[in-house]
Amino acid sequence: MKKKTTIYDIAKKVNLTAATVSRALNNNPKISENTRKLVQEMALEMNYEQNTLAKALKSGKSFNVGVIVPRMDSNFFASVIRGIEEELYPKGYHVIVCQTHDQEKLETGNIMSLINAQVDGILMSISNSKTKNKIFNSLSQKRVPLIFFDRKKDISGVSSVTIDDFNGAYQATKHLIEQGCRRIAHLSNDRSLEIFKNRYLGYKQAIIDHGLEFDESLVIETISKVDEGRKVAKQLLNMDTPPDAIFSSSDFSALGAIQEIKAQGLRIPKDISVVGFSNEPFTRFMELSISSVDQSPIEMGRIAAKVFLDEVDVNLKTRKQQQIVLHPELMVRKSSLKNE
């Protein structure tokens, strides 16, 4: 049986102490980048395998962090995960990603699986407002830090990192009004979730503040899918007095709306303007680029990871709840720009 490589074997090869090798393998910030790279490359070359169980027993940590998102096929959530990983990997943590497909049962199952895997914390964007607080309380009982990002529930003691959805929606609607639009429709989403409720309220307030009549019939709840956006746009365009603009709470439903508008022979933005939300990559690379509200997802992920690092080594009683709200930015493009 072949003898396993130890840190002492690696230390001998790279002419360093075993303690330095150990720190380099565990991404200790006191070790220089060059030394860390040298040690990790040698460890790979020598087929070194860390005893993660022994490491966990010694430190009381698994060095695994769970991340739960509604779906992975969104650049927004993929970018948040990237931000989390960029912040946590250098600190020796590994990220376990789960997706819920906006289903309460899957959301609860993912949380239970991560608890059973003894993760050191969970960073999460909720899918369903109906998920019982009891499941979140079980994390508190087990002293596992929970940090919400993007979509959150208001739970005492639980930190969150979000953007100002109200302000982002207000900016988008105000921009459409400034472009001369007077009958602005809103493609909403599940307003029991705080982010979509706030986007609706921001849209509504901008309409009122600028002296326009708020018409509830122009607000239609849908889901963040291209075909659903197309379906709703058809419904709006069939009205006796169709809208002259659409503000969508999602880029995907905005894209569907654009497809339907074009299919009906209307011009964008001359006949009808469109603004989305999230700043997905396709919004800027299309021939008809789409105006959208940017949510700074990489920054959001990094900050959520930093909040976790603040909380992971702190006693539950002394943890400070943090509610960090990032500022959104409206990216104005061809789909809404009438006045250049």
Residue 84: inside a domain: yes
pLDDT given at position 133: 67
Asked if pLDDT for residue 209 goes beyond 80, the answer is yes
Give me the phi and psi of 238, to 5 degrees please.
Answer: -85, 0
**Other beta carbons within 10 Å of 283:** 24
Q: How many domains does the chain have?
A: 3
Residue 336: inside a domain: no
Residue 55: inside a domain: no
Domain of 34, CATH number, reads 1.10.260.40
pTM attached to this predicted model: 0.80
Residues 84 and 26 in one domain: no
Residues 103 and 148 in one domain: yes
Query: 177-181, 194-198, 217-221, 320-324: lowest mean pLDDT where?
Result: 320-324
Could you tell me which residues are beta bridge partners of residue 291? 275
Residues 183 and 262 in one domain: yes
Domain of 285, CATH number, reads 3.40.50.2300
Residues 241 and 282 in one domain: yes
* Distance from the Cα of residue 52 to its chain's centroid: 29
Torsion of CA 27, 33, 36, 41, to 10 degrees: 120
Q: With bands split at pLDDT 50, 70 and 90, how would you rate the model's confidence at 130?
A: low
Residue 334: inside a domain: no
3-state class (DSSP) for residue 243: coil
Residues 121 and 178 in one domain: no
Residues 170 and 290 in one domain: yes
* Residue range 176-199, pLDDT digits in tens: 999 999 999 999 998 988 999 999
pLDDT given at position 150: 93
Which range marks the domain in which residue 263 is found? 165-295
Residues 284 and 180 in one domain: yes
Report the b/e string of 133-142 with b at 16+ CB within 10 A: eebbeebbee
Q: Alpha carbon of 192 to those of 77, 131, 153, 258: distances in Å?
A: 20, 12, 10, 26
DSSP 93: -
CA distance 259 to 263: 6
Asked if pLDDT for residue 319 goes beyond 90, the answer is no
CA distance 32 to 278: 37
Residues 289 and 226 in one domain: yes
More confident residue, 334 or 338: 334
* Residue range 278-317, pLDDT digits in tens: 999 999 998 899 999 999 999 999 999 999 998 887 665 6
Residues 266 and 306 in one domain: no
